[in-house]
Amino acid sequence: MYNAGAKLAKYDIFCFMHEDVKIHTNNWGVILHKIFCENAKLGLVGIAGSQYKSLAPSSWHCFEIDAPELMYYQIIQNYKYSVREKSYECSNATNEKLAKVVCVDGVWMCCTRRAYNTYSFDELLLRGFHGYDIDFSLGISQNFQVNVTFEILIEHFSEGNPNKIWLDEIIKVHKKWASVLPVNLSELSQETLVKGEKKAFKNTFKRMWVAGFSLNEVFRLIYQSKRSRVMSTYLFLTLNKHLLKYLVKNRTIS
């Protein structure tokens, strides 16, 4: 869908967004144009993103990494799948107007034609509505900067719904980029990141098991992650050991 739209575009800035958003900032197009004009290396802009993209399957931020300061976002969030009040949410630890990140949330993201021409949406791998933002961000970031802007405010009328379909697509993306991940723009220590990755993988195993993934699919996730520089022999064996313990425990209970 997005690739088809890009082919029809007449101008040099492409905007991709969900259908259930409202842009509150007046003249946001002028602001966006100025952002790109003043930053020649910039290829992709969003309103939510993170300075760390984990090896473990996750959305645009790995919440098992105990570092909320790595998240940059500003949004008015409504809730469709849970009973919560609408809220204004913002995270900007360094008080930036334009923050460098690894990847952005697909709720609203804009790129230049020049950046898009180096990396389009992978419609062969991802045929649904999940994971495309992470894949696109990682692809664009190979040649351009990816940033979050705090000059444009949007309202989103639903939250994410991380079901089995979502998890399946996210795993595809992480398999594709396993040799590149994790990507770290922060100054967090290697010890902190490895600890977070291990916790994130463990939580992913549980989610896969509950969602009905096969045992082979879960083990395959660990194996395909061996291409990453962060997947040491110790971490690889630790994750396999944890998975076996988890499976034995749950089969005993059932």
Query: Residue 132 CB: number of other CB atoms within 10 A?
Result: 22
User: What token pair was written down for 202?
Assistant: 């463990």
Looking at the predicted structure, is the pLDDT value of residue 252 above 80? no
Domains and CATH numbers, the chain: 2-186 (3.90.550.10)
Check: pTM over 0.95? Answer yes or no.
Answer: no
Q: Which residue has the higher pLDDT, 127 or 70?
A: 70
What's the pLDDT score for residue 1?
85
- pLDDT class of 236 with cuts at 50, 70, 90: very high
Burial label, 56 (beta-carbon count in 10 A; 0-12, 13-18, 19+): buried
Report helix, strand or coil for 235.
Answer: helix
Q: How do residues 40-57 score in pLDDT, each as one tens digit? A: 999 999 999 999 999 999
What's the pLDDT score for residue 249?
78
Q: How do residues 175-214 score in pLDDT, each as one tens digit? A: 999 999 999 999 889 899 999 999 999 999 999 989 999 9
- Quick check: 32 and 152 in contact, CB under 8 A? yes
- Quick check: 108 and 148 in contact, CB under 8 A? no
Q: How do residues 5-27 score in pLDDT, each as one tens digit? A: 999 999 999 999 999 999 999 99
Whole-angstrom distance, CA of residue 171 vs CA of residue 161: 16
- Quick check: 190 and 234 in contact, CB under 8 A? no
- pLDDT class of 253 with cuts at 50, 70, 90: very low
User: What token pair was written down for 34?
Assistant: 């100025």
Question: Which residue type is seen at 108?
Answer: W
Report helix, strand or coil for 110.
Answer: strand
Whole-angstrom distance, CA of residue 24 vs CA of residue 44: 20
Per the omega criterion (within 30 degrees of 0), is the bond before 57 cis?
no
| Strand 183-184 relative to strand 52-53, pairing | antiparallel
| pLDDT more than 90, % of the chain | 86
What's the pLDDT score for residue 251?
64
